[in-house]
Every structure is written in structure tokens, then in C-alpha cells.
Amino acid sequence: MQVELIAYSVPVEVEGGCNPMDIVERCASVCYDSEPDFDKFRISKGCAKTGHMSVFEHAYFTFRVAEISRACLAQLTRHRHFSFSVRSQRYCDESTIGCIIPPTVTEEQYDILMQSYSDSIDKYAFLTSSGMAKEDARMVLPNAAETELYMSMNARALIEASHLRLCNRAQEEIRTMFGVMKGEVKLVSPEIAEMMVPKCEVNPSY
């Protein structure tokens, strides 16, 4: 799995990057006719504590993600406030694409999964080589098929998605992915990364 933060919001007058919380703090300050606190982000943190999360919608993050399964992609796209650009199975040749196998499988299960995946790829390759359009041949491709994408989201959407996807009830692949995303965000905004926690940490009764 590859997860890389490639872009994030910065104020136009700042060169060389800054903490996206600067933007959140500036936007939060106008709500209360207050001076922004660019040191401790007092206003934005107060907003987070009271559930006033709309101010976090002004900061954006963009990630490049590779070597995840189409099953994981299906889970990601349920987060409606994320924006996606995904490798197209309609136009791209998938005959050499890799597969993602859950780490929890037994040796016997692994052999069955790999055989099934290999059979699907062989059928795909046969169909495309015989003249079938890739957009039609892709119907035989399994959920294990590897994919690559870029995705963007505002900080609020990222934080709220993390509440679900960092939970131990989430599938391991997407949980691992959000763990890496949190680490990437921490490098530019420790404050936002600190809010990326499982739902049970936000609401202990969950």
C-alpha cells in the first residue's frame, strides 16, 4: 500500500507551506469577532470541542493512494464529501494488475484466492485479446484487483471519516490506509491529526 499527502491548503500570502489550521483559525475567528490565535489555535480547537465543525471545511488535503483493492475503493466512495480520480478499468489494460490479499487468510485460503484471481485475469486477457472492449471485459475482474487513485477532502470530512475507518470494526485494509493518512497529516498539521481518532475515542459510549 502506498499513501502520500501531495497537497494541502495554505493561505495565499504564505510561501513554503504552513499548517492548514491557520486557515481554520482565521475562518473560525470571524464567527466570534475575535483575533485569530495562530500559535495555539484556541478558537478552532474550541469549535471542535463544541461540535462547530463547519470551520474545518475550509482546509483541504489531497492524497495519492496506490496498491489498494477495488473492495477498499468501494468503501472509500461511501464518503460522499471526498473527491476521487481513479484508474479507469474502462480504458486501462488490467491484464497485468496485481491483487490484494487480506493478511488474515490461512495458507489454504490464500491458495484458493490466488487461483480464483489468476483465473479471472486469464479470462479478462482472453476476452480483450479476442476483441472485447475493456469496458465489457472488466466485468470478470474481482474485488481483489489492485487500483490507484487521487482523492481530496476537506478537514472535516477527513476527521469524520477517520472516526469510522480507524475503528477496530473497520476492515484491516482501510484501517491501515487511514492510519498512514493520519501519519501524513501529522507532518503538516498535528492538531488535525490529533482529531483523527476512532469513534469510540470521541464518544466512549459508542
Catalytic residue among 70, 138, 156, 165: 165
For 98-116, b/e burial (b = at least 16 CB within 10 A) is ebbeeeeeeeeeeeebeee
Q: What's the half-sphere exposure (Cβ side, CA atoms, 13 Å) at 33?
A: 0
Q: Is 64 a catalytic residue?
A: no
Other CB atoms within a 10 A radius of the CB of residue 51 amount to 7
Local structure of 93: helix, strand or coil = coil
Q: Which candidate, 7, 5, 27, 52, places its Cα nearest to that of 186? A: 5
d(C-alpha 86, C-alpha 92), whole Å: 11
Catalytic center residues: 165
